[in-house]
Amino acid sequence: MSLHSYLVFYARKGKDMKRFDGKVVIVVGATSGMGEASAYRFAEEGAKVLVVGRREDKGQKVVDKINEKGGIASFMKADISKQDDCRKIIDCAIERYKRIDIVANIAGYHISKGIEDIKVEEWDYLIETNLKSFFLICKYAIPSLKKTKGNIVNMSSMVGLIGQSNACAYAASKGGIIAMSKNMALDLAKYGIRVNVICPGWIRSELVEDWFHQQEGKEQDQRDYINSIHPLGRIGEASEAAAAIVFLASEDASFITGVALPVEGALTLGY
């Protein structure tokens, strides 16, 4: 390529192309919170997005919003605690978009019970939802990701890094996601597949807002307290977590794999 052609190409690239032009992204858990924000961000940056979640009404709203702004997205209803649904997610992406470049596993569930109180069936359900589903979706996606030299971003939690009281199964699942992802990063590097993890803390979401509303007349006191324990003085926004997810999935992070990235406003430094 001549110098002139090189400069013209990159001038055009900088003007017209986006980071995910031509890429297909699966966002699991995209009907609310960090998953929804990630779906919007991927679409804004040129990706075709498969929006995956349990709630069809909310999922379709996400898709409609993306498509109204000129993006490309479609919805698939799935219960990731079921193995067949995990397989169907990958099949659906291939059927609709012919390829997979990025898998963003952003779904999750929480049970606030310690080891003495949690029931075996609750443990099984949470591990199946939070950890086994990630294993299955990644496993089924790998053949396609090998073809595209794609990458995976899994969502853990700051709890996966430092633990948490009264959250036996949740802490186990989030720690497991980090360990599994590091193993995958090593095993899949030879295929050019990167695997990274985000570890969010307090991020504004439906679950967090529900928790504040349940504080029996002390909602504002609890909001003030939770904000105060963050060195930055506030909890995070879903869009801020999405920015980290999209960065790790992009070529801007092309030499980053096996990383568990805290997105928690430095809360764990003094936890």
pLDDT value for 16 = 67
pLDDT value for 146 = 98
Nearby residues of 87 by Cβ (< 8 Å), 6 or more positions away: 136, 140
Q: Given 170, 191, 225, 271, which residue is catalytic?
A: 170
What whole-number distance in Å separates Cα of residue 246 and Cα of residue 108? 18
Q: What is the CATH number of domain 18-203+237-270?
A: 3.40.50.720
pLDDT value for 9 = 47
Residue 263 structure tokens: 């997105």
Among this protein's residues, is 271 annotated catalytic?
A: no
Per-residue b/e over 83-96, b at no fewer than 16 CB within 10 Å?
eebbebbbebbeee
Instruction: Say what the pTM is.
Output: 0.89
Dump pLDDT digits (tens) for 129-145: 999 999 999 999 999 99
pLDDT in tens, the chain (271 residues): 455 544 544 554 555 679 999 999 999 999 999 999 999 999 999 999 999 999 999 999 999 999 999 999 999 999 999 999 999 999 999 999 999 999 999 998 888 889 999 999 999 999 999 999 999 999 999 999 999 999 999 999 999 899 988 889 999 999 999 999 999 999 999 999 999 999 999 898 887 887 788 777 788 998 999 899 899 999 999 999 999 999 999 999 999 999 999 999 999 886 5
Dump pLDDT digits (tens) for 227-238: 998 999 999 999
What whole-number distance in Å separates Cα of residue 148 and Cα of residue 142? 10
Nearest to 113 by CA among 172, 163, 169, 177: 169
